[in-house]
Amino acid sequence: MDAFYASVEQLDRPELRGKPVVVGGSAEGRGVVAAASYEARRFGVRSAMPMSRALRLCPQAVRVSPRFQRYGELSRRVMAIFRSVTPLVEPLSLDEAFLDATEQAAKYGGADGLARWLKDEVRRGVGLTVSIGAGTNKTVAKIASDAGKPDGLVVVATGDEATFLAPFAARALWGVGVRADAALQEMGIRTIGDLASADAAQLERILGSRGPMLQKLARGEDDRRIETDGERKSVGAETTFARDLPDGEELRDELRRVADEVGRRLHAHGTEARTVTLKLRYANFRTITRSTTRVEPMDDTEDIRAIAASMLERVLEPGDRFRLLGIQCSHLVEREHGQLRLWRGDGTRIEDPAWRTAS
DNA sequence: TCTGGGGTCCTAGGACCC
DNA sequence: TCTGGGGTCCTAGGACCC
């Protein structure tokens, strides 16, 4: 989707159409930009930018707080349109998905025809524009969709993969972030084409074990499948305070609030968790995590809060000030209400399907 | 200019087991 | 008296994605 959150706001509030819209937290609350409309991007406003800076660049921009529930609704409708074409849909986020339509494309007159049909359906059914990239693998499709934004449609023919990718910045490749990009630049590698032809040994020294894989992707060789059954592995919540907090009542209140939120989300997902991780960011931005794992899964907010609180106790030093506190739960286990649970002497759970049948 | 919040995956070291 | 090799699990940190 194009500038998804901002586009949804412009869809729901016609008075915002044609205007610079920036979705994100407030500048006073240390918010950053989650999405910027194309009108705002013309002023240099970008995602992940501090809101204070965004509003300096574009003072006339309308700032809107995110409404994730609403974005989720529209996302589900878009994904449903995708699934009406093929069951092989892999959502990457609320606003992006891979589709494997190898079997279905011919029915629509090929990749181009299918892409046009999808764009029309989304515009008609949801009222938003979508950019589509088509190709023989994920890397090519992804970069093709970025290349055409907004409202784009780029189809890369079979056999043209490496040639198509070569001129794009290495940073455009999935898995090359700021760090890897900086290291590559130092080696004189700027484009995907440079990466494709770089010395393999040198690349591995710089990127480690990811080197060979990234080089394969850069050459247009990518045989990753569409994964339709992505199971959630963690549930968490975190909050950045409007101002740095010392240890005290306020910090304890925040910890309680975050624990409540995590407990609520855990419940909503119908899961319990064996591991609780406390995340703290100091005023100087240094971030630490502390985790504890229990044999028995927990979903009780009070348990989560107590565990997080005791970990906080253990790291606190006089004079510490924090800007962020978060709690993540992992090692998720499906919740079984009211069902008898059996445990072995060593603390492991009896989950043998044969035992379940026998019971 | 001053850095969100939701995640995933990987690595390295250490405890522990046989 | 000195220390293998296979494995799993946990912890902490960090890169990366949208």
Q: Does residue A338 surpass a pLDDT of 60?
A: no
Between CA A71 and C1' C15 the distance (Å) reads 27
A126-153 tens-digit pLDDT: 999 999 999 999 999 999 999 999 999 9
Enumerate residues 6+ apart whose C-beta is below 8 A from A49: A32, A33
A2-42 tens-digit pLDDT: 999 999 999 999 999 999 999 999 999 999 999 999 999 99
Structure tokens at A255: 């910890």
CA–C1' nearest nucleotide, residue A180: C15
The whole-angstrom separation of Cα A69 and Cα A268 is 14
Asked if strand B comes closer than 7 Å to A179 Cβ, the answer is no
The whole-angstrom separation of Cα A3 and Cα A8 is 9
Between CA A208 and C1' C1 the distance (Å) reads 40
Q: From A99, A137, A142, select the one nearest A222 (Cα to Cα).
A: A137
Asked if strand B comes closer than 7 Å to A208 Cβ, the answer is yes
Which CA distances in Å does A146 have to A143, A154, A177, A331? Answer: 5, 9, 16, 35
Q: From A158, A123, A112, A135, select the one nearest A7 (Cα to Cα).
A: A123
Nucleic acid strand C: bases within 7 A of protein CB: 9-18
Which CA distances in Å does A228 have to A115, A136, A189, A305? Answer: 20, 18, 34, 34
Q: Model's pTM, two decimal places? A: 0.91
CA–C1' nearest nucleotide, residue A146: C18
The whole-angstrom separation of Cα A146 and Cα A134 is 11
Residues of A noted as catalytic: 96
The tokens 């998905």 sit on which residue? A97
Count other Cβ atoms within 10 Å, centred on residue A289: 12
The whole-angstrom separation of Cα A187 and Cα A210 is 16
- Which amino acid, A351? E
Q: For strand A62-64 and strand A21-24, is the pairing parallel, antiparallel, or unpaired? A: parallel
Q: From A53, A41, A54, A29, select the one nearest A2 (Cα to Cα).
A: A41
A209-219 tens-digit pLDDT: 899 999 999 99
Between CA A81 and C1' B4 the distance (Å) reads 30
Asked if strand B comes closer than 7 Å to A93 Cβ, the answer is yes
Structure tokens at A165: 């990718």
A231-241 tens-digit pLDDT: 999 999 999 99
Between CA A183 and C1' B3 the distance (Å) reads 22
The whole-angstrom separation of Cα A337 and Cα A352 is 18
A275-327 tens-digit pLDDT: 999 999 999 999 999 999 999 999 899 999 999 999 999 999 999 999 999 99
